[in-house]
Amino acid sequence: MGRRLLIALGVLAPTCFAAWLVWQSADQPGGGAGGSAPTLMPLPDHSQPGGGDGSDASGGGSGGGNGGGAQAGSGTGRKPLAGKTVVIDPGHNPNNRKHAAAINRSVSIGTGRKECDTTGTATASGYSEAEFTLDLARRVRAGLRAKGATVELTHNGRRPWGPCVDARARAGNQADADAVVSLHADGAPAGRRGFHVILPESVNEGVADTRPIVGPSRTLGHQLADSFRRFTGSKPASYAGDGEGTDTRADLGGLNLSRVPKVFLECGNMRDPRDAADLTDRGWRVRAARGVVEGISDYLTEER
Ligand SMILES: [Zn+2]
């Protein structure tokens, strides 16, 4: 389904197709066969420690070259997400486990206090959630940049720990991001499967005021859930939220402290063997990244 869609887009918009090829070739050491190779063969894990230019949240954007004008400009080669800023937050940090004291200190999340950060979960074979989220974040960054967006990551695996959840939220605020997605995978009991998107609940307490972002975040979340489902074939988690792929929470600092549209994506359950088989599969992660990229893109292009 995704293949047909992309080919159709290529016919309609050659520049988009070219961007897709750039994205694919960046991720695919052997290159595609004749430019029509939808068999997705990403690089081995950790083969791109910097994931390109490796800019963290403090780094600059993609350059892009098309500036931030407002005209859609038909036929001028303007990329669909030019002028848009997206922050991707890879949940946790592979090194958090070595810095328990630093990540266990509490920070304010408005509705209470919570640990600065946590280690996250892992599959039975030891593939950590933090490794997964970094890998996916780098793929998503590449895909969004190919569409012209300025993309920042809250961290790129080079920090010893964290950042704390409040700093992760600030990264989106300081970038004045048009959309922020925090990437995670769940640690629920085996037998529970599927993905879900977590939306900010309306809170106005202490340093938290999500009232302005509840509406746009819900739109972002639904676009993301629809696209993620389409590209991965995964089903919405039956064990979380409304059973339709979305949940709403007031206990996450990363959402409570955000001033810009933001959602969390729990891509699957690492503790379930069948979900873990997906999450550890590079081809699946390529499709997952495309699902995230297209979901964000749907939101940002419809928003105008
Ligand atoms: Zn997590």
**Model confidence over 259-294: pLDDT tens digits?**
999 999 999 999 999 999 999 999 999 999 999 999
Structure confidence by residue, pLDDT tens digits, 114-143:
999 999 999 999 999 999 999 999 999 999
265 vs 37, more confident: 265
pLDDT band at residue 243 under the 50/70/90 scheme: confident
Q: What is the pLDDT of residues 181-230, one digit of tens each?
A: 999 999 999 999 999 999 999 999 999 999 999 999 999 999 999 999 99
With contact defined as beta carbons under 8 Å apart, do 89 and 168 qualify? yes
146 contact partners, CB below 8 Å, separation of at least 6 = 19, 20, 22, 23, 26, 79
Distance 141 CA to ligand 1 centre (A): 19
CA 185 to ligand 1 center in whole angstroms: 6
Distance in Å, CA 30 to ligand 1 centroid: 33
Task: Cis check for the bond before 163: say yes or no (omega within 30 of 0).
Answer: yes
Helices 14-27 and 2-12 cross at an angle (nearest 10°) of: 130
* 205 assigned to active site: no
Report, as an integer, the average pLDDT of 57-64. 36
pLDDT digits (tens, 9 = 90+) for 64-100: 333 333 344 445 688 999 999 999 999 999 999 999 9
Compute the distance from residue 302 Cα to the ligand 1 centre, in Å.
29
The pLDDT score that the predictor gives to residue 241 is 87
Q: Which sign, positive or negative, has the C-alpha torsion 20, 186, 238, 153?
A: negative
DSSP string spanning 145-169? HHTT-EEEES--S-SSS---HHHHH
Confidence of residue 7 (pLDDT cuts 50, 70, 90): very low
Q: Rounded to whole angstroms, how far apart are CA atoms 89 and 183?
A: 6
Of 266, 294, 302, 303, the active-site residue reads: 266
What confidence score (pLDDT) does residue 76 get?
64
Separation of 187 CA from ligand 1 center, angstroms? Answer: 8
Who has greater pLDDT, 235 or 62? Answer: 235
pLDDT of residue 12: 41
Whether pLDDT at 10 is above 70 = no
**Residue 258 Cα, ligand 1 centroid: separation in angstroms?**
17
User: What does the pLDDT read at residue 64?
Assistant: 34
Residues 39, 52, 92: CA angle, nearest 5 degrees: 90
Phi, psi dihedral angles at 247 (to 5 degrees): -130, 160
Strand-pair category, 179-186 with 85-90: parallel
CA nearest 263: which of 67, 91, 138?
Answer: 91
